[in-house]
Amino acid sequence: MPLNSKALVLVHILFWSFLDTFILSHGTQSDINCLKSIRDSLEDPFNLLKTSWTFNNLAKGSICNYFGVTCLNPAENRVCGIVLVNMGLKGEFPKGIEDCKELVNLDLSGNEISGSIPSSIGNCSYLEVLKLDNNKLTGQISQHLSQLRNLRIFNVANNLLSGPVPEFVNINITHESYVNNSGLCSLLGTFSESYAQSYVNNSGLCGGPLEEDSKKHRWVFQISFKSGFEVGFVAFAILYTAFFIYYFDLGVGLMERGKIIKRIEPDHVSQFPNVEPRYISLLEKMATKISFMKLSKATNNFSANNVITSGKIGTVYKAMLPYGTFMVVKRLHASQHYENQFISELITLASLRHKNLVPLMGFCLEMKERLLVYGYMSNGCLHDWLHVVEDRAKMLEWPIRVKIIVGIARGLTWIHHMCHFQVVHLNISSKGILLHQNFEPKISTFGEAMFMNRNDIDLNKGCSINSEFREVELVKKDVYSFGIMLLKLITGKEPR
């Protein structure tokens, strides 16, 4: 490449990096506006916010040191967590929280916050935890909040809310999520895995009682007027029919499930070993467990028409949930080696949350089935954009390429140095970089990842590094792989 061409490439990179820095500073101002909105909207009887959130002489990382505020990377001044619990805060719900664009955790529980939950919170697309319980919130929960595709925990118990509950995508409904809201209701049929205790001390359910329960109560009412002989006869007939239907459906269900597994499962693989129950319990605390039959239904019985890609580890499917949301399901082949990769990827992505890491939505661990569920990335993988279709490569202009480079660098820097569970990836490649609809890069394929902090991980210690020297060498491997990918993005060619 001539010298002037190299200089031109360097100018491009510096220019767009400067542009990205400008955007970053704008994002920092947005976070400052978010925090100012909270401080100015609420009465602070203990003056914890007034003394800590001063906004004077702002420098990099300064707002990350504020009381109750956490950041993914203090050097970037981007807020990812706001936890202000049991502080006696009073006043209307802050309207400017949506300005914290990268907010992951919002916990304002145990205060006296009033008013309605603003629908604009639905714009915080990275939000995973929203705890607003034990306040004085009123009004309805906006359906706009159902757009929070990454939301896993939502608690509004002990408020004064009313109206229907939105249909969330990936939420963990606990027994305490909605209790003690005088007018809050839900069509429980839409929450197939929720608990009835979730609606204790709520006035009712939208749409009236469920059909099954109404039939049951009607049957009890009718037989109360029958003679003892009639009751016994009816009970015998119903029990006989129920047992017949149960065993017939059970046999058919097992046959159908057997057909699904037999059709998809490769002949050459062996069964997975049993996973210890204590590990299963730990995994369930880290990520949402989803049933195999639900994933089978979402992928149309793992139809070949829904296959995104297939490799030696397993097959990746596009799945559609009942409410029209797309997910990605990776179904692993049965093997001891792939079992380790399943555990490694699951605990890594469940432990780490960053805008440049692919979001883990859940997992399935039933018998010999091992499946991982991710957020759907509509633009596929970087490799296909660079090498598979030539016209696509032409569409990746310099601003997009620099955005991808910066995003990958941020993700790697964070897992290497910034997060509590420091990780080396060991499999960085363009095939493992997924692109969101706005070309925000997401690092995936954590099956070979290893933890640097061995003592922090109780599950599968084989995924951790026990040598400081080896740790440095493995980090260098990630950096080298990133350099190769950087060359691909700049030149558009595969290295020889």
492 vs 496: CA distance, rounded Å: 13
Q: Is residue 43 over pLDDT 60?
A: yes
Contact 451, 460 (CB under 8 A): no
Query: For position 185, what pLDDT does the model report?
Result: 65
Closest CA to 329 of 290, 271, 284: 290
In one-letter notation, the amino acid at residue 109 is S
Query: For position 273, what pLDDT does the model report?
Result: 47
Q: Is residue 197 over pLDDT 90?
A: no
Secondary structure of the chain as H, E, C letters: CCHHHHHHHHHHHHHHHHHHHHHHHHHHHHHHHHHHHHHHHCECCCCHHHHHCCCCCCCCCCHHHCCCEEECCHHHCCEEEEECCCCCCEEECCCHHHHCCCCCEEECCCCEEEECCCHHHHHCCCCCEEECCCCEEEEECCHHHHHCCCCCEEECCCCEEEEECCCCCCCECCCCCCCCCCEEECCHHHCCCCCHHHHCCCCCCCCCCCHHHHHHHHHHHHHCCCCHHHHHHHHHHHHHHHHHHHHHHHHHHHHHHHHHHHHHCCCCCCCCCCCCHHHHHHHHHHCCECCHHHHHHHCCCCCHHHEEEECCCEEEEEEECCCCCEEEEEEECCCHHHHHHHHHHHHHHHHCCCCCECCEEEEEEECCEEEEEEECCCCCEHHHHHHHCHHHHHHCCHHHHHHHHHHHHHHHHHHHHHCCCCEECCCCCHHHEEECCCCCEEECCCCCCEECCHHHCCCCHHHECCCHHHHHHHHHHHHHHHHHHHHHHHHCCCCC
35 vs 187: CA distance, rounded Å: 36
Contact 80, 71 (CB under 8 A): yes
Of residues 14 and 138, which shows the higher confidence score? 138
Stretch 282-292: mean pLDDT: 77
Q: Which residues, including other chains, have CB under 8 Å from residue 22's CB and lie 6 or more apart?
A: none
Query: For position 136, what pLDDT does the model report?
Result: 92
pLDDT confidence band for 181 (50 / 70 / 90): low
Beta-bridge partner residues of 423: 451
Cα dihedral sign, 82-85-91-93: positive
Tokens found for residue 461:
């210690």
pLDDT confidence band for 225 (50 / 70 / 90): very low
Stretch 396-409: mean pLDDT: 89
394 vs 396: CA distance, rounded Å: 5
Stretch 200-212: mean pLDDT: 50
The domain segmentation of the chain, as residue ranges, is: 29-199, 215-264, 277-491
Question: b/e map of 472-491 (b: 16 or more CB within 10 Å)?
Answer: eebbeebeebbeebbebbee
In one-letter notation, the amino acid at residue 243 is F
Contact 126, 102 (CB under 8 A): yes
Instruction: Choose the weakest-confidence range: 207-221, 318-332, 477-491.
Output: 207-221
Q: Is residue 303 over pLDDT 90?
A: yes
- CATH H-level, domain 29-199: superfamily: Ribonuclease Inhibitor (3.80.10.10)
Q: Is residue 42 over pLDDT 80?
A: yes
Tokens found for residue 397:
């202009």
pLDDT for 344-355, tens place per residue?
888 888 777 788
Beta-bridge partner residues of 436: none
Stretch 285-292: mean pLDDT: 80
Contact 289, 365 (CB under 8 A): yes
Closest CA to 39 of 63, 61, 23: 63
Q: Is residue 108 over pLDDT 60?
A: yes
Q: Is residue 297 over pLDDT 60?
A: yes
Query: For position 475, what pLDDT does the model report?
Result: 86
Q: Is residue 259 over pLDDT 50?
A: no
- pTM for the whole structure: 0.56
Tokens found for residue 483:
């350099």
Question: b/e map of 431-449 (b: 16 or more CB within 10 Å)?
Answer: bbbbbbeebebbbbbbbbb
Instruction: Choose the weakest-confidence range: 115-119, 233-237, 319-323, 414-418.
Output: 233-237
Q: Is residue 278 over pLDDT 90?
A: no
Q: Provide the percentage of residues in the chain whose pLDDT is more than 90.
A: 16
pLDDT for 411-430, tens place per residue?
898 888 876 667 888 889 99
- Count of CB atoms within 10 A of residue 334's CB? 19
Q: Is residue 486 over pLDDT 50?
A: yes
Query: For position 194, what pLDDT does the model report?
Result: 44
Instruction: Choose the weakest-confidence range: 141-155, 239-253, 400-414, 473-487.
Output: 239-253
pLDDT confidence band for 456 (50 / 70 / 90): very low
Q: Token match 């101002």: residue?
A: 29
Stretch 188-192: mean pLDDT: 41
Query: For position 70, what pLDDT does the model report?
Result: 84
pLDDT for 45-99, tens place per residue?
888 888 889 887 666 557 888 888 888 766 677 888 899 988 889 999 998 899 9
Choose which CATH entry (1.10.10.10, 1.10.510.10, 3.90.1170.30, 3.40.50.2000) describes domain 277-491: 1.10.510.10
| Angle (nearest 5°) at CA 64 between 61 and 68 | 170
Q: Is residue 223 over pLDDT 60?
A: no
Query: For position 365, what pLDDT does the model report?
Result: 87
* Burial tier of 163 (Cβ tally within 10 Å: 0-12, 13-18, 19+): middle
Q: Is residue 15 over pLDDT 90?
A: no
Contact 479, 486 (CB under 8 A): no
